[in-house]
Chain A
Amino acid sequence: MLLRHTPKEVKEREGLTINPAKTCQPIGAMYAALGIHGCLPHSHGSQGCCSYHRSTLTRHYKEPVMAATSSFTEGASVFGGQANLLQSIETIFAVYDPDIIAVHSTCLSETIGDDLQQITKKASDDGKIPEGKYVIYASTPSFVGSHVTGYANMLTGIAEQFAQSTGEKKDQINIIAGWMEPSDMREIKRLSKELGVKIVLFPDTSDVLDAPQTGKHVFYPKGGTTVEELKSAGDSKCSLALGCISAEPAAIGLDKKCRVPFETVDMPIGLSATDRFIMSLSKAAGVEVPDEITAERGRLIDVMTDMEQYFYGKKVALFGDPDQLIPLTEFLLDLGMKPVHIVSGTPGMRFEKRMKEILQRIPGANFKNGLNADMFLLHQWMKNEPVDLLIGNTYGKYIARDENIPFIRFGFPILDRIGHSYFPNVGYTGSLRLIEKILGVLMDRQDREAPEEKFELVM
């Protein structure tokens, strides 16, 4: 057993987190900044932070992940990191020539109280930022929230520091993407195009973290939301924020700065959440939903009805990030499954409230988020009430193997499989893919473990 020391008996813990279902803010900030065209993320802290974040993102995407660091030493930690950041800005523009440097802080620079606004202003005053280039920033202390918070903070920084209001509204809608994969962002663009809605999607990591092999390394790949698009976001009719934790703060920031009204919807994962997304987008843009999208929906429902017997009543444990877990849990219920154990390390009352509503149909379901809501607890719950399926990031494979439970990789990080960069989980098509994966692991198990006389040809 790989997790042989995990006891069945659950004891309250206050000091020790074991096998976390979250990581820290800066990696989210780095990911968000990669979705801006020509942008180099910069980690204002010691080298390890940047190295760890780049390594984790690289393992997840199997793609180049470029980012720089302020390389704090003890001296900088005592005297402040201003000199390091100024030197970084100078070096980066000279050597790597980005359009934008997106600086995020770390627990180190936050603890010593470095003020990114003041330092970037000084860089600008000292003439260290070339004409037409930008240095933006976000405060992302690792001791607050989680990686999702860091994503939201950087995204808010991007919205607030770029968007401008010219006073003339444009016939376009902002879609503020919660933490999703390049494939999901590509799918959101496809669906919007299908609906005939002009959108500004930000961030957009498609064509950045799913770049083609061409024999050339393009330091700033062709994807990413452009500065022009970001500026114009202040003139958009409205914003749709996909996810209350990872996307909504940016929508609020944009509304405050440029008076762009917004609506927060769930990330379109599963049937019902995609329905709401399509409704909101068509309503906001004043367009009819075309037959092709109705047909896409129909194909999803068709499979749900065809295969309902394999889903019904199956118990599921899941862990990950709130904005994904909320619609995913709802989808599992739509499939007739029973999500009984759910944890997310990301704090927030919104998650608790939504989960309570959604899980009304499953009395006794366990869910917890925030401090000590970790995979150790999830595993203990599973020992007390076993499940038929586990859904979560790659770390779930240790539990799945020990407990012999079918397992689907979903969320961040996925370190041992490919696919998430290329095939979406959002929209009707993405949901169909999710169903295919769920059925695949459940049926593989049946095929593997059925007695010979009960081995089925047709399923």
Chain B
Amino acid sequence: MEAMKQYPDPSRIREELVQKYPAKVAKKRTKSIVINDPESIPEVQANVRTVPGIITQRGCSYAGCKGVVLGPTRDIVNIVHGPIGCSFYAWLTRRNQTRPETPEHENYITYCFSTDMQEENVVFGGEKKLKQAIQEAYDLFHPKSIAIFSTCPVGLIGDDVHAASKEMREKLGDCNVFGFSCEGYRGVSQSAGHHIANNGVFKHMVGRNNEVKEGKFKLNLLGEYNIGGDAFEIERIFEKCGITLVASFSGNSTVGQLENSHTADLNVIMCHRSINYMGEMMETKYGIPWMKVNFVGAESTAKSLRKIAEYFDDAELKARVEEVIAEEMPKVKAIIDEIRPRTEGKTAMLFVGGSRAHHYQDLFTELGMTTVAAGYEFAHRDDYEGRHVLPNIKIDADSKNIEELKVTADPELYQPRKTEAELEALKEKGLEINGYEGMMKQMMKKSLVIDDVSHYESEKLIEIYKPDIFCAGIKEKYVVQKMGVPLKQLHSYDYGGPYTGFVGATNFYRDIDRMVNNPVWKLIKAPWEKAGNGKGTELEAAYVTQ
């Protein structure tokens, strides 16, 4: 099937998208705009610097580290070391839901902690204030862990958050204090912050508690942040199938779960971009294989559950998974049968995240909708083209300064869960073991793939394609809607969700049906504008006498 029969030639669209740019900018942007061919996937320029001034969707390293990865764990006190803004903006805005065990259990997600750095701290150093803040947080709350996040000025003035954390950890004795050098200027996007967060969580949390808990099929769910309750739905399904979730990285998680996560026998990865480092490091150190899954989409959920059952290779689990799918699917089917006639044939564009622009295409496919263009905000080439390109990715200066941890097998705890031969056999069966095929393989021929789309390019795309729905984030939401096109936020879900699993899929179907078919979009023009304002005939008497 070929996409966009009714649209101009995609290479002409590509030219149009960059036409207005200064020559150098046009040349650079052209490499990030490619015409897809799933049979022979072209190279996409990704994870490179954004052109200053171009109006990007991207954020910073701090956002990726504190906001994305560490934010959802409820019982860490996350202190942001820097001026007040960074902590303020990341305060509750990512909708990471959490469910403490009891009303007395710890939950600091509703709190915002900052050292509120002042000019004198920038001039004379802020370490003293940081240590004071850690002490005050400890005295007030006695948390198990305190994490410190560096903002831009911290790295520049040379505050050593790691030394300060170590000193306080030793002083306090029963509180694990550790720091992150996630200054906003590191890397080229949030992505650098994900990597920094993975390193820190791996170094300071994973492996601290070796107690092996009960459970026959134990796994960790990586790269699932419980936005809108996504992790709750996956937890529900796992429980129903008899699968034990040791830890989720990091939606609805606790410090204890993360510290114990190396006792699991499999890591399943949702958001490859933000957490693949963790999967790799845990495999090397503990011998736990990782596998790419996708719980966005009902069919994708069923497929992912079957893969998990296949991995554990247990007849009982396989049977249970089939039972659960058979029980859940009819409810999903009843809803999709009702909705699909209204969504069939419509078009979507997705420019978001590092995985979501891929995952959500499954849901649109289930709705009979076509993705005409898609791209990530902060992904790398492997998220587009598949992990086989990893050896060919050039490491530039911006990536080089993000630490790569040197990980080796743990002398005591390394225990390969599967032999090489077993893993090979699983791969043969189509399981993405230690692998990810990327977004482009699934997208249609001649669809457009654009990395780090600019504001200008988005507006042009909408003008040209007039999609029925556009998926991005809050900054794009009202721009696109002002153009008369509904925008689905795929960071915050427009305050809805969950969208994962079986229940989530039906939530998404209903939301998209509502959005693309909402009568309000037809009310934008005033009646006098439609009738040629003031140019009509005189009023006619129209009354009825009885």
Interface residues of A (CB under 8 A from B): 1-5, 7, 11, 13-20, 22-27, 42, 45-49, 51-56, 58-59, 62-77, 84-85, 87-92, 94-96, 106-108, 111-112, 141-144, 146-147, 211, 213-218, 345, 371-372, 376, 395, 398
Q: Which residues of B contact A7 (CB under 8 A)?
A: 140
Per-position contact with A for B112-134: 1 when CB-CB < 8 Å, else 0?
Answer: 11111111011000000111111
Docked Cα-Cα span, A111 to B455, in Å, equals: 29
Q: Smallest distance from the beta carbon of A376 to chain B beta carbons, Å? A: 8
- Binding-face segment, B101-109, B203-211, B346-354, B384-392: B101-109
Q: Which residues of A contact B122 (CB under 8 A)?
A: 107, 111, 143
Task: Determine if B85 and A23 form an interchain contact, defined as CB atoms under 8 angstroms apart.
Answer: yes
Docked Cα-Cα span, A407 to B494, in Å, equals: 24
- Binding-face segment, B36-44, B304-312, B478-486: B478-486
For the complex of A and B, list the 3 residue pairs with the smallest distance between their C-beta atoms, beginning with the closest: A48-B60, A24-B85, A15-B132
Task: Determine if A213 and B55 form an interchain contact, defined as CB atoms under 8 angstroms apart.
Answer: no
Known: A4-B107, A69-B52, A95-B20. A108 touches B478 (CB 8 A): no
A-B contact pairs, 17 of them (CB 8 A): A16-B132, A16-B136, A18-B112, A46-B61, A58-B478, A68-B52, A71-B188, A87-B52, A88-B53, A94-B22, A95-B55, A107-B82, A107-B85, A111-B157, A143-B118, A143-B119, A143-B121
Known: A17-B84, A17-B114, A95-B456. A5 touches B482 (CB 8 A): no
Question: In this assembly, does B413 line the interface, its C-beta being within 8 Å of a C-beta of chain A?
Answer: no
Give the residue among A88, A215, A395 with the most B Cβ atoms within 10 A: A215
Question: In this assembly, does B438 line the interface, its C-beta being within 8 Å of a C-beta of chain A?
Answer: no
What's the A-B contact tally at a CB cutoff of 8 Å?
267
Task: Determine if A91 and B111 form an interchain contact, defined as CB atoms under 8 angstroms apart.
Answer: no
Known: A46-B185, A58-B475, A73-B185. A91 touches B52 (CB 8 A): yes
Task: Determine if B49 and A62 form an interchain contact, defined as CB atoms under 8 angstroms apart.
Answer: no
Name the residue of chain A whose CB is nearest to the CB of B157: A111
Q: Which residues of A contact B90 (CB under 8 A)?
A: 52
Task: Determine if B83 and A398 form an interchain contact, defined as CB atoms under 8 angstroms apart.
Answer: no
Task: Determine if A48 and B53 form an interchain contact, defined as CB atoms under 8 angstroms apart.
Answer: no
Q: Which residues of A contact B62 (CB under 8 A)?
A: 48
Known: A3-B111, A4-B107, A143-B118. A23 touches B55 (CB 8 A): no
Known: A4-B107, A17-B84, A107-B151. A90 touches B482 (CB 8 A): no
Q: Which residues of A contact B56 (CB under 8 A)?
A: 47, 69, 71
Chain A interface helix/strand/loop/mixed: loop
Q: Which residues of B contact A3 (CB under 8 A)?
A: 110-111
Docked Cα-Cα span, A213 to B139, in Å, equals: 52
Question: In this assembly, does B63 line the interface, its C-beta being within 8 Å of a C-beta of chain A?
Answer: yes
Name the residue of chain A whose CB is nearest to the CB of B492: A59
Q: Which residues of A contact B114 (CB under 8 A)?
A: 16-17, 20
Docked Cα-Cα span, A91 to B454, in Å, equals: 12
Docked Cα-Cα span, A407 to B119, in Å, equals: 35
Question: In this assembly, does B137 line the interface, its C-beta being within 8 Å of a C-beta of chain A?
Answer: yes
Q: Which residues of B contact A59 (CB under 8 A)?
A: 93, 474
Q: Which residues of B contact A54 (CB under 8 A)?
A: 475
Task: Determine if A68 and B53 form an interchain contact, defined as CB atoms under 8 angstroms apart.
Answer: yes
Docked Cα-Cα span, A91 to B137, in Å, equals: 45
Task: Determine if A4 and B483 form an interchain contact, defined as CB atoms under 8 angstroms apart.
Answer: no
Give the residue among A59, A142, A376, A398 with the most B Cβ atoms within 10 A: A142
Q: Which residues of A contact B63 (CB under 8 A)?
A: 48, 51-52
Name the residue of chain B whose CB is nearest to the CB of A42: B53
Q: Smallest distance from the beta carbon of A382 to chain B beta carbons, Å? A: 16
Known: A46-B152, A107-B82, A215-B483. A1 touches B185 (CB 8 A): no
Q: Smallest distance from the beta carbon of A242 to chain B beta carbons, Å? A: 25
Known: A48-B86, A52-B89, A74-B398. A17 touches B113 (CB 8 A): yes
11 A-B pairs besides A20-B112, A217-B459 with CB distance below 8 A are A16-B113, A18-B111, A23-B84, A24-B85, A45-B152, A73-B398, A92-B53, A94-B21, A141-B119, A142-B85, A217-B480
Task: Determine if A47 and B140 form an interchain contact, defined as CB atoms under 8 angstroms apart.
Answer: no
Per-position contact with A for B141-162: 1 when CB-CB < 8 Å, else 0?
Answer: 1000000000111011100000
Docked Cα-Cα span, A19 to B140, in Å, equals: 14
Docked Cα-Cα span, A167 to B85, in Å, equals: 43
Task: Determine if B79 and A112 form an interchain contact, defined as CB atoms under 8 angstroms apart.
Answer: no
Docked Cα-Cα span, A112 to B92, in Å, equals: 30
Docked Cα-Cα span, A253 to B88, in Å, equals: 30
Task: Determine if A15 and B129 form an interchain contact, defined as CB atoms under 8 angstroms apart.
Answer: yes
Task: Determine if B59 and A11 form an interchain contact, defined as CB atoms under 8 angstroms apart.
Answer: no
Task: Determine if A5 and B108 form an interchain contact, defined as CB atoms under 8 angstroms apart.
Answer: yes
Question: In this assembly, does B228 line the interface, its C-beta being within 8 Å of a C-beta of chain A?
Answer: no
Q: Smallest distance from the beta carbon of A248 to chain B beta carbons, Å? A: 21
Known: A85-B52, A94-B22. A142 touches B140 (CB 8 A): no
Known: A23-B89, A64-B479. A144 touches B116 (CB 8 A): no
Docked Cα-Cα span, A68 to B455, in Å, equals: 10
Q: Smallest distance from the beta carbon of B180 to chain A beta carbons, Å? A: 14
Task: Determine if B524 and A214 form an interchain contact, defined as CB atoms under 8 angstroms apart.
Answer: yes
Known: A96-B456, A141-B119, A371-B118. A90 touches B84 (CB 8 A): no
Per-position contact with A for B62-98: 1 when CB-CB < 8 Å, else 0?
Answer: 1100000000000000010011111111111100000
A111 touches which of B134, B152, B186, B478 (Cβ 8 Å):
B152
Docked Cα-Cα span, A371 to B117, in Å, equals: 10
Task: Determine if B61 and A48 form an interchain contact, defined as CB atoms under 8 angstroms apart.
Answer: yes
Task: Determine if B59 and A52 form an interchain contact, defined as CB atoms under 8 angstroms apart.
Answer: yes
Docked Cα-Cα span, A17 to B473, in Å, equals: 29
Docked Cα-Cα span, A42 to B56, in Å, equals: 12
Known: A66-B455, A91-B53. A18 touches B113 (CB 8 A): yes
Question: In this assembly, does B200 line the interface, its C-beta being within 8 Å of a C-beta of chain A?
Answer: no
Q: Which residues of A contact B89 (CB under 8 A)?
A: 23, 52-53, 55-56
Task: Determine if B49 and A73 form an interchain contact, defined as CB atoms under 8 angstroms apart.
Answer: yes
Q: Which residues of A contact B104 (CB under 8 A)?
A: 4
Name the residue of chain A whose CB is nearest to the CB of B116: A17
Question: In this assembly, does B25 line the interface, its C-beta being within 8 Å of a C-beta of chain A?
Answer: yes
B24-50 interface (Cβ within 8 A of A): 25, 49-50
